[in-house]
């Protein structure tokens, strides 16, 4: 199906679903319109533990309206459990990649073409290419008593 046909098809579905007040299905159709209408949109990469599960409603909505591909990159051994957890949070994704070590995320980011990446651990953010936009999530594991936690390897005190 061509891009234009996909958008028009979902637009028709959206109108019909709103008219019969099926709002959950209408939301799904609306998200598909946004998904397909943009070309060359940035590829969004998301960490799962400490990131998606830290703000699940935000990431559910963001991933569904994000106009480009969405890739979950998680440091887990059990891919099926990772998919089940992502689905439990209602997060949309095109691809889910599991890595064995936190440091391997940078390579996964390059291989999947991620251009905007969200994570909570500095160890995962160290070797990401400078042309990738990095966003860091705050949680109890990386922020306490009003200060960011970092190690000598991941941070540099400036004063
Ligand atoms: Mg994490």
Q: Compute, in angstroms, the gap from residue 95 CA to the centroid of ligand 1.
A: 17
Helix (H) or strand (E) holding 70: strand 70-74
Q: Compute, in angstroms, the gap from residue 159 CA to the centroid of ligand 1.
A: 28
Give the per-residue pLDDT at 120. Answer: 97
CA 105/CA 56 separation, integer angstroms: 21
Q: Compute, in angstroms, the gap from residue 121 CA to the centroid of ligand 1.
A: 6
CA 3/CA 5 separation, integer angstroms: 5
70 token code pair:
């969405």
Instruction: Give the Cβ contact number of residue 39 at 10 Å.
Output: 8
**In this predicted model, what pLDDT tens digit does every residue of 132-142 receive, in sequence order?**
999 999 999 99
Question: Looking at domain 39-148, what is its CATH homologous superfamily?
Answer: HUPs (3.40.50.620)
Q: Compute, in angstroms, the gap from residue 118 CA to the centroid of ligand 1.
A: 9
Give the per-residue pLDDT at 34. Answer: 86
Q: Compute, in angstroms, the gap from residue 131 CA to the centroid of ligand 1.
A: 21
**In this predicted model, what pLDDT tens digit does every residue of 1-26 receive, in sequence order?**
788 888 899 999 999 999 999 998 99
Give the per-residue pLDDT at 110. Answer: 96
* pTM (two decimals): 0.89
């Amino acid at each position: 199906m061509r891009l234009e046909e996909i958008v028009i098809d979902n637009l028709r579905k959206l109108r019909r679903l709103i008219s019969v007040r099926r709002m959950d299905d209408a939301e799904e159709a609306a998200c598909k319109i946004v998904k397909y209408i943009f070309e060359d949109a940035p590829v969004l990469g998301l960490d799962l533990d400490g990131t998606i599960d830290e703000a699940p409603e935000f990431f559910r909505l963001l991933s569904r309206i994000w106009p480009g591909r969405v890739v979950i990159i998680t440091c887990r051994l059990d891919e099926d459990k990772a998919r089940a957890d992502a689905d439990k949070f209602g997060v949309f994704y095109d691809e889910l990649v599991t890595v064995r070590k936190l440091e391997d995320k940078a390579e996964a980011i390059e291989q999947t073409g991620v251009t905007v990446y969200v994570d909570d651990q500095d160890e995962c953010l160290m070797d990401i290419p400078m042309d990738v936009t990095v966003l860091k999530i705050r949680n109890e594991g990386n922020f306490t008593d009003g200060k960011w936690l970092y190690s000598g390897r991941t941070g540099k005190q400036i004063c």
